[in-house]
Copies of this chain bind each other. A is one copy, B any other.
Amino acid sequence: MPHNRAGKVLLNCDMGEGHGVWQMGQDEQLMPFIDCANIACGFHAGDPGVMRTTLTLAKKYGVEVGAHPGYPDLQGFGRRKMQLSATELRDCLHYQLATLCGMAKVVGTQVTYVKPHGAMYNQMMQDDSIMQVIMAAVADYPESLELMIQATNQYSEHAEIAKKYNLTLRSEAFSDRAYMDNGQLVPRSQQGAVLAKDAAIKQCHSILQQGQVGSVSGNTLSLQVDSICIHGDTPDALAIVQGIRNKR
C-alpha cells in the first residue's frame, strides 16, 4: 500500500491554496515534514502558476501528491455548500483531476489519490449519494487514484461501497480536532473542538505509535487511520509537524 508505507501512518496537508498574488499557508516550511500534499486544482484555490510551484515543491521533497478538488467558488474558498447535479459534480471532478494529473506530469511527478475540499468533503461525508458520485468519478478517471475520506465509525460501510467501484480508500484523522465517543468530531461551535498545540502533538503521537485516537471523554476509539491531516493554515502547523517528524 503506497499510502501506508509498511504500515506507517502518513501525514497529509492541504497545499497550493494561494491564488495569483495571494498566499495561503506555509507550504515551503511544511513540505519537508509531510508525506502527502493535497494540492488545490484551481476551482476553490490554486491557479496554473501556484499549481506548478506546489507540484515542484512536492517533487523536491519526495512528497506524494493528491488532487484536492473543490467547488467552483473562489470567493467562498469552496467552503460554501453548493448543490451540483450528479453530472455537474462528476464533470467538475474530472476537470480538476485532469488538470492536476497533467500538470504533475509536466513537472515529473504524479497524482496518486484524491481528497475533496471543504464543503464538497463535508457533503460527501454527510450524504451517501454524493459520496457515490465522487467514488464513481474517481474510479472512472483513467489513472489509478485512491480516495481519501474521513475516518469514522461508518468506514467499513464506505469501504463496502468503494469495493463496488474497485476503488481503494484512505482514511484520515485530524491532528487538531477533538473526537466524541461516536467517532465524530466535536463541533466547532463547542468548547474544546480544536486542540491546542501540545494536545494536537499528543493526539498525533497516539495515532502514529499506537494507531489509536482518543475521545474527549478518555475512551479509545476504534477508528482505522491511514493518514493524519495537518491543517497548514493554522499558526501551530509547523510546531506540530516538527513535534512529530524529522525534516527530510
Which residues from 119 to 159 on chain A have a C-beta closer than 8 Å to any C-beta of chain B?
119, 140-142
The complex places the Cα of A140 from the Cα of B98 at a distance, in Å, of 17
The complex places the Cα of A18 from the Cα of B103 at a distance, in Å, of 25
A24 part of interface (Cβ distance < 8 Å): yes
What is the size, in residues, of chain A's interface with B at 8 Å between Cβ atoms? 43
A73 and B74 form a contact (CB under 8 A): no
A49 part of interface (Cβ distance < 8 Å): yes
For A52, what are the chain B residues with a Cβ–Cβ distance below 8 Å? 91, 94
A236 part of interface (Cβ distance < 8 Å): no
Among A47, A81, A84, residue most surrounded by chain B Cβ atoms (within 10 Å): A47
CB distance from A78 to the nearest CB of B (A): 10
Q: Could you list some 14 contacts between A and B, CB below 8 A?
A: A18-B22, A20-B77, A21-B24, A47-B95, A52-B91, A73-B73, A80-B83, A80-B88, A81-B82, A95-B102, A98-B102, A99-B102, A101-B102, A106-B140
With A72-B73, A81-B83 given, name 12 new contacts (CB 8 A): A20-B77, A22-B23, A47-B95, A48-B91, A48-B92, A49-B88, A80-B83, A81-B81, A94-B102, A94-B103, A95-B103, A105-B142
